[in-house]
Chain A
């Protein structure tokens, strides 16, 4: 992981820690339209392709314009994200099976509330294709005390490596 990513991770940890200190007054309702703050966010590697031999698989650059439109109603969490299929999750702490984006494999998804944060864990074959290593993705959605900032920390783990990145979103 680059020094940049590490420093952004530290920033995210500070943000999350300060949000958590605010106590339980803030409900974990993530509803809203969120726009990515490129200056405060890490570059994000391509979530599907791990290319080698110097080929850049792309991903989210620092200046990418990304919107999240989230509807959070009770234990239902719906996340519409630029260039990503709509996610409809049940926030009940139990694993749910759903098709991977390829439609060829199954993913196990567990969403839960932890304090003011929503935690989402995905386990699926890498790239959603048969025969691949398992990719475990752990995401923390943390709302700021004033509800204006959403910090999303993502950690992706395979047998070969672990990578983390942080994205900061501002409410519109």
Chain B
């Protein structure tokens, strides 16, 4: 991965930015929406994180994309494995026929699965049943890659401790299941993570998140399970720079990224997703443990986004899929947050159509 921590990003970018601005006009400098272009701008001006200015920054928010933005849609060689949240979900149950379960998942075109952590920590199944599950997944070429964790690791005490211990238990459970990762979040100062507490971006909240993750890493020392952090707009980690800084501050390479681009969207990037995607992938690339696939539109008066069918909103799925295909290892992509199984069928059709158009490989086929 490039050394693109936020501090180095700005410090190193200043000189390059000045030189770049002298050599190229603004349009050329920002044509790719690259972090180098951004670093130049931000570093030179000392402005905080955000995409580079386009026009009229003295009096306009920089919410429109640059004119004639060029997109590099050269695909990489990695093959995406898609998972979903179709029903029934994967849960621990001695009575479940896992062979039939994974056969059905595969028949629908999905080639990976994840599961909710609480079901596994609360309902243990026998070792033989876990073996049966693993064998069935392998038989149908399905990768069970992770546990999606509930909870809030910086919730008001005493809940924070309870949820941190849950994450530790989830890491151990993920090892037993042969998974590669667990997914958790920086957390909120409210009990409910989805409520934006006014102090979630304070030093106090940041230090609570860092301390919580240090404790989780310490209590799971020796484990190879990645601790992927999912950005959520209501929490401190809601941009790629916060992702990178969290890993630095916790100081453990297992702190990785459960990349959810749409969870980081705000009006400043809603119509600049090509640049935002490129900046994020350039900054985080090999820290990305896996990704979530959603889409969104801005269709209301307040700066509120609504979820949209994949490939029909603001996301720029061509760039998203191309950048995924350039990761060094085959990425897992969770299509999530849709209403019912038919929505997942439609989402998969759109994603596969876009992937085929830009030459990105997706594992398996959809019926």
Contact = CB atoms under 8 A, between A and B. Distances in A.
Contacts of A127: 297, 312-314
B309 to A, nearest CB: 4
Interface in A37-74: 46, 48-55, 57-58
Interface in B327-353: 337-339, 343, 345-347, 349-350, 352-353
Contact of B297 (A49, A104, A160, A161): A49
Nearest to B321: A131
* Contact count band on A: 20 to 34
Contact of B349 (A48, A55, A131, A160): A160
A52 B317 contact: no
A49 B315 contact: no
A42 B17 CA distance: 55
Contacts of B318: 130-131
Q: List the 7 closest A-B pairs by CB distance, nearest first.
A: A131-B316, A160-B346, A159-B353, A131-B318, A126-B312, A50-B309, A160-B349
Contacts of B273: 131
Interface of B: 65, 69, 71, 273-274, 297, 299, 306-309, 311-320, 337-339, 343, 345-347, 349-350, 352-354, 357
Contacts of A54: 339
Contacts, number: 98
B80 to A, nearest CB: 15
A105 to B, nearest CB: 11
Query: Chain A interface secondary structure, helix, strand, loop or mixed?
Result: loop
A133 interface: yes
A159 B352 contact: yes
A131 B315 contact: yes
Contacts of B315: 131
B65 A104 contact: yes
Contacts of B65: 104
A158 interface: yes
B299 A133 contact: no
Contacts of A135: 312
